[in-house]
Amino acid sequence: PDQLHDYGRDITFVEYRTVLDGLASCRMRHPRSGVRKKRVLVRQGDHKRAIPPRRLSMAVPRFATLTVTSPRLLSVFLEAARSLQCLCVPEYTTQLEKAINVLCDAFKAGNKLLVFGNGGSSADAQHICGELLGRFVKERTGLPALALCANQAVVTAWSNDYSFESVFARQVEALGRHGDVAWGISTSGNSPNVIAALKAARTIGLHTVGLTSAPGNKMTPWCDVLMAAPGASTQIGRAHV
């Protein structure tokens, strides 16, 4: 679905039997050999044609909209929409605005941002820093933002020789300065190394921002600003993105 663009034509998956990787697939018999091979049958206007799955990634961007005929697949899209709707509440948007103000004040004062997390949250941390250091909507000067999970030499060396629980705290102590911002990301809110880094940040005078799930987790007391995305645990990572 994220590859669909508006090129002025519609695509509808029909006559499906299984749903695999979000695509409606069917079985078609080869006209010569009679061997049954997996194909994706699509309707374009009044015409039908079969596309081998390996070629579908090249064909899909040519079409505009996707009509989902599988109830199971449709429920996935609806769940994604609900996870975004959950963010449109004052409790979350107020904290989001506070986090924006903290970051803006820090950057204006010449300070930097340190972001950290594990797994998918690690990828989010790198994505955030990439947008800030590079650009997002308009041309501007780069903003100083570091993802503490990106230096694999540091992460693996310290985790192997000392402790994975202190891998982010060690970097905060080395790189953080008074007035900087430490931004921890944890979908559960209970990641030990994220909490340890937030504690270290508080000790040396950094502003602390948290991106997590509903309040009440172990991360909450260590965050000056807590962006707690509401919703089921399976939706938190999607909401963070």
Under the banding of pLDDT at 50, 70 and 90, the label for residue 239 is: low
Residue 226 pLDDT > 70: yes
Query: What is the per-residue pLDDT for 234?
Result: 54
Higher local confidence (pLDDT), 209 or 228: 209
Query: What is the per-residue pLDDT for 23?
Result: 41
pLDDT in tens, 10-54: 333 333 333 333 443 333 344 444 444 444 444 444 455 555 544
Tell me the pLDDT of the chain averaged across its residues: 76
pLDDT in tens, 117-167: 999 899 999 999 999 999 888 899 999 999 999 999 999 999 999 999 999
Query: What is the per-residue pLDDT for 69?
Result: 58
Query: What is the per-residue pLDDT for 27?
Result: 38
Instruction: Name 230's Cβ contacts closer than 8 Å, sequence gap at least 6.
Output: 86, 87, 89, 91, 92, 213, 214
Under the banding of pLDDT at 50, 70 and 90, the label for residue 9 is: very low
Residues of the chain above pLDDT 90, percent: 48
Can you give the C-alpha Rg of the chain in angstroms? 23
Q: Tell the residue number behind the tokens 């989010």, with chain if given.
A: 124
87 phi and psi angles, rounded to 5 deg: -80, -15
Taking residues 168-177, what's their average pLDDT? 98
Taking residues 60-78, what's their average pLDDT? 60
Q: Which of 53, 63, 62 is nearest to 20 (CA)?
A: 53
